[in-house]
Amino acid sequence: FVDARDIGDGNDGNEDLDAMRVMKKQSLGNYIETRDQHRKAKKASKDTGEKDVPARDRRAVILQVENRKVKEKQRLNALEEEKEKEAAASGDDDMPAEDPYYAHVKAQQEQAKAERAEKYAFAEKTYAPLQTVDEGDKRSAGYQITKNRGLVPHRNKDKKNPRVKHRMKYEKAKTKERTSFYGKQERKDNSGAYGGEATGIKSNIARSRKLDSKDH
C-alpha cells in the first residue's frame, strides 16, 4: 500500500511529513485487511449445518408437555378406580367388626366437635331494611349528612368534655404541688422558737447562695 509518489526526494526538508504519510497508509491498509477477515469469518459461521434444521415452536413444545401430564394423571386415576373396584368386589366380610366401645367414643367426639362449631360460629349478619320512599317524597338525611363533621382529629375521651379536661388539669396540679419539696413542709406561723427543718437537715445538700462581688 506504499506508493512511490508518497515518498519525497529528500531535498525539500519534508522527510518527517513523508514518514507520517507512509505510516497512515500502512495503518489504513491493516484496518481494511482486518475488516475483510472478520467479514469472511462471519459469513463462514452463518453457512453451517444448523441452517437446515427447522426452528422448534415453543408453544407446541409446551402444549406437548401439558398433554403428557394430563394423560399421566388420567392413567393414575384409572388405576386408583380399578383398585377401589377390586377392593369392593372382594367384599367387606374379611374386615373385622368395629368395637362398640370405639364406635361410642367416636360418636361422642363428633358430637362434641359439632357442638363446639355451633357455639363459636359467627352469627348471621342482619341488615336494616332499605328505606322506602313514596312517590313525590324525599329521602331523609342520614347522620353523616346532618352532623357534617368532615375530617376531625382523634381526641382522648377525657379531653372531649371541657369540664372534665379542666378538672383533670386541676387534680394534676394539686398532686404536683403536694409532692413537691415545699408542699411536704408543714406551714406554721413564725411565732415561737425555731424548731429546725421539718424534713430534717441533709448534709449532702447545699441550698445556700454564693455571694458575688457585685452583691456588696
CA dist., res. 158 & res. 55, Å (int): 78
CA dist., res. 160 & res. 154, Å (int): 10
- pLDDT tens digits for 170-182? 999 999 888 887 7
Residue 167 has what pLDDT? Answer: 95
- φ, ψ (nearest 5 deg) of residue 107: -65, -40
Is 8 exposed, middle or buried, given 0-12, 13-18 or 19+ CB atoms closer than 10 A? middle
Which of the four pLDDT bands, split at 50, 70 and 90, describes residue 184? low
Top mean pLDDT of 45-49, 62-66, 128-132 is at: 62-66
Whole-structure pTM value: 0.22
8-17, 52-61, 102-111, 197-206: range with lowest mean pLDDT:
8-17
Residue 168 has what pLDDT? Answer: 94
CA dist., res. 172 & res. 166, Å (int): 10
CA dist., res. 72 & res. 205, Å (int): 92
Q: Is 111 helix (H, G, I), strand (E, B) or coil?
A: helix
87-101, 125-139, 197-211: range with lowest mean pLDDT:
87-101
Residue 206 has what pLDDT? Answer: 76
Which of the four pLDDT bands, split at 50, 70 and 90, describes residue 205? confident
Please state the rounded mean pLDDT for residues 34-50. Answer: 76
Top mean pLDDT of 1-15, 67-81, 185-199 is at: 67-81
Please state the rounded mean pLDDT for residues 76-86. Answer: 89
Which of the four pLDDT bands, split at 50, 70 and 90, describes residue 95? low
Residue 107 pLDDT greater than 80, yes or no:
yes
Residue 1 pLDDT greater than 50, yes or no:
no
CA dist., res. 71 & res. 206, Å (int): 96
- For the chain, give the percent of residues with pLDDT over 90: 19
Residue 112 has what pLDDT? Answer: 94
